[in-house]
Chain A
Amino acid sequence: MSHIEAQEAGEGVGADVPDREPAKSMRRQMLAEFWYYFSENKGAVVGLVVFIAIVLIALAAPLIAPHSPVLQNRNALLIPPFWQEGGSTAYLLGTDAVGRDILSRLIFGAQYSLFIGVVVVVIAVTVGIAVGLIAGYVGGWVDTVIMRVMDIILAFPSLLLALVLVAVLGPGLVNAMIAISLVLQPHFVRLTRASVMAEKNREYVTAARVVGASPLRLMVVTILPNCLGPLIVQATLSFSNAILDAAALGFLGMGAQPPTPEWGTMLAEAREFILRAWWVVTFPGLAILVTVLAINLVGDGLRDALDPKMKRS
């Protein structure tokens, strides 16, 4: 008891408020801290540089591509890359079986791959977060039904399910993107649901409920911003998955249709020349490899930088 009385004499309400830095510099500080942890991971920095380069190439494709991606040159069929015998500097990475410049096709293909990645991730994230929020917040039988449906989707090999969906919807880039989003979205549902369930019983949520926040406001304004960390990482990793799956569908003839310069479709068209003209197959494959690797490295770095448990104080 005496401890409280002893305190009474020498305290003024609010005397313990130290002066702290204003908010703006705080945000910059948080950004600096984020960059500090992100740049610890050298692979992630390399990945980020490569990824930015790919984005720039895709944006500037019409300016930097030496040829049209669909223009066929009958005089230049299956020309090897310039450093090989018979190659020409007009076609730096050679030409394919109908005389189209491979370098130009790869440059325009970057547009498609990034477009696929962005659209698929946006669809999968939006739907996944909405469904996951409802499952986690409402709970009960709604949760059970949603999660069993997600389990069924997850139980299929993802590419096989996408293939079936495209076969049903009809081949084409748009349908391929829809199919891939559907295949990727259960991961977001699961992640969102898990974080929502952890957050919804925290006291700040109860406090918001006591002042009368509606369920929708609780879900979207109060809970969701606190669940975003793992979702950002998962979105990055899904980006590369989407590119890879789209390429696979393209290769199987179910994705982008010729003459679209999509990397997977290019691989499919070049299949029969594997032994005669290695460059037709190798360069699209390399492009996919480098892009996916770069994005995965960035995703790893993000995970390290955003996970509070990895931080040292």
Chain B
Amino acid sequence: MNAIVTAKDLSQIYEVKRGVFAKPLELKAVKEASFTVQEGETLAIVGESGCGKSTLARILTMIESPSEGELVIDGVTIAASGAGSDAKRLRSIVQIVFQNPYGALNPRQKVGAILEEPLKINTKLSAGERRKKAEAMLAEVGLRPEHYGRYPHMFSGGQRQRIAIARALMLEPKILVLDEPVSALDVSIQAQILNLLADLQERLNLTYIFISHDLSVVKHVANRVMVMYLGRPVEIAPKDVLYAEPKHPYTRALLSATPATRPEDRGERIRLTGELPSPFNPPPGCSFNPRCPYANDRCRSERPLLKRHGASDVACFAVDEGRLPGLEKDAA
């Protein structure tokens, strides 16, 4: 396996205008994110609202180009200045599935037209070939050929998400960015879509970047998990390691907040105090320090970098210095 996506110090800075005379504020939605994605794996990106998950998705799909840093996708480097002529090639490598299946399909286009649009723009296939491909793709995602001529409003949420997945797959991409693909769906439909995604990954050898805030869904689908806080990755670890032995204090708090069905599974709930700091004015040092129970003076002045601890990469001084309690706890 080799890395198909390599991100190095990716940052995305938005300028927020405050009127004619005031200086525009800088909002760093993503800060110095470095990570790799292996071919064929599922990397889950988790974190609370506003932590930069969706911005990262927009950078990876080249809806926006990063303000700083370097991104290498399948051997093609995307500089901070913009993708340029390689954009067209990368388009057929990275595609995206959105969260809301009701907003992601053009209500005035028939399903057939929706599926054929990527081919129409990017290939020189004839109308007949396009139609054949679209119908094959409908079958691939578990819809029937007669759905070709219908409008999106005639489908249920789960079916629409299947159509959105089909559209993303029309250009035969290698990487699929899934931006909360199931969080708008019923639990029963969620399972169907997740299984469909797993099937497709196996059959088409796809790489998934799965963005979610639902930790139980992530546990089901991910190979590795990246936890983000205020625009920065704070912990990257293989799924089993992360769930059995979370290292970063934020990851621990996040996992302890996941509801469990069986009372004996419920661990002690770690309650964070305070609010998510404003991204306009992040705290100095580690951005988690105002809410972290283990923060000391070093955490308030210096910023921790991702460091390897066992199988995980963690950005935390408390972990580095070994002063975090219960690190060696067995997975009972």
Residues on A lying within 8 angstroms of B by beta carbon are 1-4, 7-8, 11, 13-14, 16-17, 20, 22-23, 26, 202-204, 206-214, 217, 222, 225-226
Contact = CB atoms under 8 A, between A and B. Distances in A.
B150 A207 contact: no
Contacts of B261: 1-2
20 contacts: A1-B216, A1-B260, A4-B216, A4-B217, A11-B192, A13-B142, A13-B199, A16-B158, A16-B159, A17-B142, A23-B151, A202-B103, A203-B100, A203-B103, A203-B104, A204-B104, A204-B105, A207-B164, A213-B117, A217-B121
B189 interface: yes
Contact of A226 (B108, B147, B159, B192): B108
Contacts of A204: 103-107
Interface of B: 61-63, 87-88, 91, 95-96, 98-100, 103-108, 110, 117-118, 121-122, 141-144, 146-147, 149-151, 154, 156, 158-159, 164, 167, 170-171, 187-192, 194-196, 199, 216-217, 219-220, 260-261
Given A1-B216, A226-B107, A11 B121 contact: no
Given A3-B187, A226-B106, A20 B144 contact: no
Main secondary structure of the interface of A (DSSP, over half): helix
Contact of B188 (A7, A13, A20, A222): A7
Of A2, A204, A213, A217, the most chain B CB neighbours within 10 A belong to A204
B163 to A, nearest CB: 11
Contacts of A225: 106, 108
A213 B121 contact: yes
Given A4-B191, A211-B121, A217-B121, A17 B143 contact: yes
Nearest to A225: B108
Q: 4 smallest A-B Cβ distances: which pairs?
A: A14-B142, A7-B191, A211-B118, A13-B142
A11 B98 contact: no
A4 B63 contact: no
A13 B154 contact: no
Contacts of B144: 14, 17
Nearest to B154: A20
